[in-house]
Amino acid sequence: MGILASNTIDDFVEKAYPDMIAWRRKLHQMPETGWTEYVTTWYVYNFLAELGYTCFAGKEAVNSNERMGVPAAEFLEEAAERATEYGVPEDMLEKMDGGHTGVVAQLTTGRPGPHIALRFDIDGLPITESEEAGHKPYDKGFLSTREGFMHACGHDAHTAIGLTVARFLAEHKDELAGSFTLLFQPAEEGSRGAKAMVENGWLREVDAFLSGHIGIRNEKAGVMAARGVEFLATTKFDLRLHGVSAHAAAKPNEGRDALLAAAACAQTVAQIPPHPDGAIRAHIGTLQTGSGRNVVADTAFLEGETRGETSEVNKYVWKEVERRIHGAAEMHGVGAELKVVGEGVEAYCDTDFETWLETGSSASRWIERVDSEWPVQASEDAAIMINSVQQQGGIATYMLYGTALADGHHKPTFDYEEETLPVAAAALLHTISEYLHEKV
């Protein structure tokens, strides 16, 4: 039995369930991509401050120099204007000026014990949400209010789960021990935000770190895994090609075609041979080029990524991308400006959490089954945090929460069972309770 009775946690989660749905739906309507989560940061900050947490936001929460893939100034200005219209006050906008988002909240129980950290990601994606019947956010009236953007990966759920855990810890701090740090992380998509939080020192002397994700695997709510495995290391990159414009019929010889060079880059990146030490991925996701049918394109912009089963394998893929891109650019006589805008690493979760989760959830009405592990087979920014905690002698895990999926992650019709919200909150709280029972 944990430091708290099982029914104390389960009853709290049941009472909080309607709020979790309301928070999730509110957040779903206001998706914000990495480093522009101005409204979400303000929403989370206010909630946690009212609970009595010591809160840090924006420039206080992230190391400015360690941010990756920060959007262009005009995009940040649009985000600030939108936040102003939403009612975000000037003092909070100052904290977030220039694309500094995210919240760190700390709570001390006043009793000796371990330092526990939890991470919840808050960003959305540049995807246009489906407006078709059968898509629950459409049917229930909580579609994204921002055209071209949506929560298509469940980070709205993660934030709502984090708010629930925060409320429980605050209301029960006199029955707990040690201290808690809650990280509401910006810019998870593209592996851009975790390092900026780690480098600000929030995970120093952390004894146990927990994070997780809904979905990934199509299971019914109530079924989950104690840890994820098969995290892929990754490098995210932007490529700008600089050619020379010319009339495509009269004097094509005077041009240097950035469009053809871009096409060559996309093809050659997709043809990188496999590596004997693990799976690889190399992908060009966007290509913007050309101004007219009779004009030799003088510029092209591409966004791409590499992934590898290990960090070493990913280094192989990235080296091949660099070699092939510069070769294609030289072949077409164009300049190539290649920039890394995000990086992720491999990670391995500690097995200790399985026992605590299984013991704590054995009597829980919310959790039906706990599997040891599920494969992630994708990249996750939390891996940087996991590695940081483990390198300092702490332990870490990344849980996976089952849900029936309407469609896959990062798709316009992505959605999940809201019944997985209380499952995830209960799992985290039961694990914390069992961990504290053993350590205090």
- DSSP-assigned letters across all residues of 108-125: E-SS---EEEEEEE---B
Residue-level pLDDT at 352: 95
Mean pLDDT of the 362-377 span = 95
Residue spans in the chain of domains classed CATH 3.40.630.10? 6-232+346-439
Distance CA 240, CA 338 (A): 7
Tell me which residue of 257, 264, 217, 132 sits closest to 409, measured CA to CA.
Answer: 217
- In this predicted structure, the answer to whether residue 388 has a pLDDT above a threshold of 90 is yes
**Per-residue pLDDT tens over the stretch 151-166:** 999 999 999 999 999 9
Mean pLDDT of the 179-185 span = 98
Distance CA 18, CA 24 (A): 10
- In this predicted structure, the answer to whether residue 122 has a pLDDT above a threshold of 90 is yes
Length of the chain equals 440
Contact call for residues 228 and 373 (beta carbons, < 8 A): yes
Mean pLDDT of the 350-358 span = 96
**Per-residue pLDDT tens over the stretch 275-328:** 999 999 999 999 999 999 999 999 999 999 999 999 999 999 999 999 999 999
Residue-level pLDDT at 108: 98
Mean pLDDT of the 42-67 span = 98
Architecture in CATH of 6-232+346-439: 3-Layer(aba) Sandwich (3.40)
Residue-level pLDDT at 110: 95
Band (270; pLDDT cuts 50, 70, 90)? very high
Residue-level pLDDT at 2: 81
Residue-level pLDDT at 39: 98
Residues above pLDDT 70, as percent of the chain: 100
- In this predicted structure, the answer to whether residue 438 has a pLDDT above a threshold of 70 is yes
Band (363; pLDDT cuts 50, 70, 90)? confident
Which residues are within 8 A (CB) of 225 and not within 5 positions of it... i.e. 6 or more apart? Answer: 217, 370, 371, 372, 373, 374, 399, 400, 402
Mean pLDDT of the 8-25 span = 98
Residue-level pLDDT at 365: 95
**Any idea what DSSP says for residue 71?**
P
Summary mean pLDDT of the chain: 97
- In this predicted structure, the answer to whether residue 430 has a pLDDT above a threshold of 80 is yes
Mean pLDDT of the 210-233 span = 96
Band (1; pLDDT cuts 50, 70, 90)? low
> What is the CATH topology of the domain spanning 233-343?
Alpha-Beta Plaits (3.30.70)
Residue spans in the chain of domains classed CATH 3.30.70.360? 233-343
Q: Could you tell me the sign of the dihedral formed by the alpha carbons of 251, 256, 258, 263, in that order?
A: positive
